[in-house]
């Protein structure tokens, strides 16, 4: 008969489990603050090189932070005041005309099917019945009105969070040395020095990634607006270009989301416009993939595109659209940390071991 095995848990282990569980609960309660800090770190990494330039001309760092942030804020406000009214007006007009576009698309598709077969079956007439489409539009409009309040509240909350993150990132950049030193002191030797040496590579990779994406998105927004204007979509070209620029900040998925509104308008207009819009977005996407991304974003992420896509999907799953923007630069910084602290030392150790092994094989021991 086997003796009974008893599982004993010490008081210290029990306290460790309880404290870990308590920390997880606290982190879950302050998850919004954690997201805010993540956004602030990304903004600080992007703006820090500009502040470093002001230090080279012997300006105090706090003054450089104020100059850089005021320049960015005033530049953003100037752009919004210049192109904001026509962009918002076109987007609002696009939203108002979406029910008409949906009805036009159903009619065009019905005509297309009817041209293929002379006597279309009854399910086509039922599916594309005008009364049915009208009732569907009315129901959708009612649902849109019911959700408008929560949508507006969410947008305003996101704007307030972005402003708070901007101010927090300003404090981070202005007193970065003290902040980094206080965090590094929490780690034992020799990890404190190792992590301190990785601050610059990690922040450079995070900052270069987000700066590159912003520049690429701006260029693609201008190209999309110009191309749609040539395709005689001037009524919506500026709004659709702004949508393409904003959605393009999200890697991989963003360009697809940005093309959907333009394709809806093109289908509703009829003719060959749908094909020309697809060709336009295909050309722009290839220019981004093979020219702009390698030139402006480059190897800032430093990982395989599949892992980049997974980081975007993880960000969307955890934090929604904000996660798709914030998680990839953090993933890039984490990749730099793993590369410098683990992969490179591992490869160097294997190289040294291989050299020692080869030298030992070439110099056999002397037989006495």
Peptide bond just before 200 cis, omega within 30 deg: no
Query: Rounded to whole angstroms, how far apart are CA atoms 62 and 147?
Result: 43
CA distance 183 to 168: 16
CB contact at 8 A, 226 and 240? no
Distance CA 289, CA 312 (A): 17
Joined together, the tokens standing for residue 264 give 């809806």
> Hey, where are the domains in the chain?
32-343
In 3D, which of 165, 221, 178 has the Cα closest to residue 41?
Answer: 165
* Distance (Å, whole) CA 294 – CA 273: 31
In tens, the pLDDT along 21-59 reads: 888 888 777 777 788 888 888 888 888 888 888 888 888
Among 286, 332, 342, which Cα is nearest to 308's? 332
Q: What is 148-201 written as a DSSP string?
A: HHHHHHHHHHHHHHHHHHHHHHHHHHHTHHHHHHHHHTTSPTTHHHHHHHTHHH
Written as six digits, the tokens of 66 are: 């104020």
pLDDT digits (tens, 9 = 90+) for 340-349: 888 888 888 8
Alpha carbon distance 172, 51 (integer Å)? 12
Q: What is the pLDDT of residues 255-304, one digit of tens each?
A: 888 888 888 888 877 778 888 989 999 999 888 888 887 777 765 566 66
CB 168 within 8 A of CB 40: yes
> To 10 degrees, what angle do helices 130-174 and 31-56 make?
50
**Per-residue model confidence as pLDDT tens digits over 161-202:** 777 888 888 888 887 788 888 888 888 888 878 888 888 888
Reported for 227-235, long-range contacts at CB under 8 A and 24+ positions apart, including other chains, are: 227/280, 227/284, 228/262, 228/277, 228/280, 231/273, 231/276, 231/277, 231/280, 232/273, 233/262, 233/265, 233/266, 233/269, 233/273, 233/277, 235/90, 235/93
> Looking up tokens 């590579």, which residue turns up?
201
Banded model confidence at residue 154, pLDDT cuts 50, 70, 90: very low
195-228 pLDDT, tens per residue? 888 888 888 888 888 888 888 889 999 999 999 8
Q: Count of CB atoms within 10 A of residue 74's CB?
A: 10
pLDDT of residue 155: 44
Q: Identify the sign of the CA torsion 311, 316, 318, 320.
A: positive
What pLDDT, in 10s, does the model give residues 318-368?
777 777 788 888 888 888 888 888 888 888 888 888 888 777 656 555 544
Quick one: angle between helices 237-247 and 61-116, nearest 10? 120
């Amino acid at each position: 008969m086997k003796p009974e095995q008893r599982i004993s848990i010490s008081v210290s282990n029990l306290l460790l489990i309880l404290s870990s569980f308590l920390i997880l609960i606290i982190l879950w309660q302050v998850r919004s603050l954690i997201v805010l800090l993540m956004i602030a770190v990304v903004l600080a990494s992007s703006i820090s090189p500009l502040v470093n330039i002001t230090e080279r001309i012997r300006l105090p760092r706090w003054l450089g932070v104020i100059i850089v942030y005021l320049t960015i804020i005033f530049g953003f406000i100037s752009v919004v005041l210049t192109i904001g009214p026509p962009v918002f007006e076109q987007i609002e007009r696009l939203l108002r005309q979406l029910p008409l576009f949906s009805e036009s698309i159903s009619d065009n598709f019905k005509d297309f099917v009817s041209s293929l077969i002379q006597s279309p079956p009854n399910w086509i007439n039922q599916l594309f019945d005008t009364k049915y489409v009208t009732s569907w539009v009315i129901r959708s409009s009612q649902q849109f009105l019911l959700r408008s309040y929560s949508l507006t509240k969410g947008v305003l909350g996101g704007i307030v969070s972005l402003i708070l993150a901007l101010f927090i990132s300003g404090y981070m950049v202005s007193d970065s040395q003290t902040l980094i030193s206080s965090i590094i002191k929490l780690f034992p030797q020799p990890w404190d020095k190792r992590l301190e040496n990785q601050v610059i590579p990690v922040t450079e990779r995070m900052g270069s990634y987000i700066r590159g994406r912003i520049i690429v998105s701006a260029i693609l927004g201008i190209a999309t607006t110009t191309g749609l204007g040539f395709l005689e979509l001037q009524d919506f070209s500026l709004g659709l270009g702004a949508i393409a620029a904003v959605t393009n900040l999200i890697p991989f998925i963003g360009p697809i989301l940005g093309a959907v509104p333009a394709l809806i308008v093109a289908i509703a207009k009829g003719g060959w416009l749908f094909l020309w819009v697809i060709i336009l977005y295909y050309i722009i996407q290839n220019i981004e993939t093979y020219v702009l991304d390698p030139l402006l974003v480059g190897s800032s992420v430093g990982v395989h595109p599949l892992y980049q896509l997974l980081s975007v999907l993880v960000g969307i799953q955890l934090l929604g659209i904000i996660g798709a923007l914030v998680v990839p630069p953090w993933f890039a910084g984490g990749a730099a940390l793993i590369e410098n602290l683990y992969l490179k030392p591992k490869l160097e150790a294997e190289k040294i071991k291989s050299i020692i092994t080869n030298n030992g094989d070439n110099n056999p021991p002397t037989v006495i």
